[in-house]
Structure formats: C-alpha cells, structure tokens
Structure 1
Amino acid sequence: MSEENNENLGDELEDKANELNEEAKDTAEEIKQEAKSTAKEFKEGWTEATQSKENKKLIAGLLALFVGYLGIHKFILGYNKEGIILLAGFVIGLITYCFIIGIFIIMAVAIIPFIEGIIYLTKSDEDFYNTYQVGKKPWF
C-alpha cells in the first residue's frame, strides 16, 4: 500500500509540476507581449520627440540648463554625436575628478550647455527652429 501511495503521490506531483510549468509559460508569454508593447510605445514616443518638426525650444533649453552635462538636449535635437561628446566628457571628468583636470573638464561640460540653454530660450521660436532644427547648427 505504501508503494501505491508513493506512486499516486508521484503522479500528483508530476501533474502539479506540469500545471505550474504551463502557467509559467503563459505568464512568460504575457510578460513578453507586454514588454514588446511597452518598447514599441517608448520607441514611438522617442521618435516623435526627436524626429518631429515641432519646435523643441523650451524642452531643449530647460534640459540644457538643468542636465546639460548629460547631453540630453543634444539628443532631443537630433545631434547624437554632440550628445555623446558631452556625456563622455562628463564621465571622463568624473573618472579624473581626483586629479585637478577632472574638475576643469566637468566645469567645461557644465558651462557649455548652460550657455546653450540660455541661447535657446532667448531666441525667438522661428529663429530657434531655423537655426537648430532646420539649419542643424550643433554648437551655440
């Protein structure tokens, strides 16, 4: 009788394991679909923010003033190379901060976007659009 109970218990455990396996597969598929959907929405939003013809003066100006050292305002305007330069400069400045040179690198990487932010916000909408979005002037 003990062997029969062990067999029944083994069958029950196997059935439960198969059931849990199926539930895990279903849950994984749901998560996969949700992740794809979220990624697609993010990509559409990013494309709209960076590729649209709308004037991006306010957002670029504020980003340049407050987090310009990260180069985000450059990415928003579609200047990827310049954004990478600012971001890399900031990271290099952090790495070399214990040396005197790092302080100056971080200061330069912070001052340049701050000046750009002021320039962006003081230009007229039409001037900004023609200069930075149509004319593609990457610096100042």
Structure 2
Amino acid sequence: MLKTFNEKEIETGKTMAIVAHMTILGCLVAIFINIEPKNRFSGFYIKQAFGLTILFFALGSMASRFDTWLISGPFYFCFFILWVYSFIGAASGEIKPIPKIGVYFQKWFDKLSA
C-alpha cells in the first residue's frame, strides 16, 4: 500500500507536507496549493495531517467532557507524539504513515489530494 516517490517529487513536495502540519489552517492552505500542480508526496502528508486534525477534534470533544488531567493529559500527549512522528516523516522526506490509523487516512481522504 505504501507508495514510492522519486527524489524530485519529494524535494518539491516537502515544503507543502510541512505546511500541512501547521494547524487546520496550514492543512487547508496546503490542500489548495496542491491542487495544481499535484504532488503525490505532499498529498500523502496532507491526508495524514488532515486525518490527524479531524481525529483530534472528534476525540477532543469527548475528552473535554471530563474535567480532569488524568484523561486530557494523556490525550494531548498521545496526539503530540503522533503529530511529531508525522512531522518528522514529512521533514525528512520519508513515507511514514501514522501507526495503525495512517493507512485509513489515505483511504478515507483519497479524493482530498493527489
């Protein structure tokens, strides 16, 4: 399922892959900039970042109902680790889907980007 990209495609798409990780606004900017010309490497990380952001808001709304750091602390820590994992993959030019859920993001958001 993992795609292979050539070096030129990775180098030209690395900036947009990094921008996609900068909040939901950065993700939306990266989506619109990647419309034409399409870059598959940045598209891969746009889907990862968008999926992670959507999952954060969906699970965060449930975690926020509890008014304790015993629940919200591990929640934020887990998402920070997943974000760092994806960001390092984008910055280093490696194709590293988020563990367990990254392949689903690629399927679910297939029409989102190249």
Superposition TM-score tier, normalisation by shorter sequence:
0.3 to 0.5
Q: Which has the higher helix share?
A: 1
TM-score normalised according to structure 2 size:
0.42
TM-score normalised according to structure 1 size:
0.36
Larger radius of gyration: 1
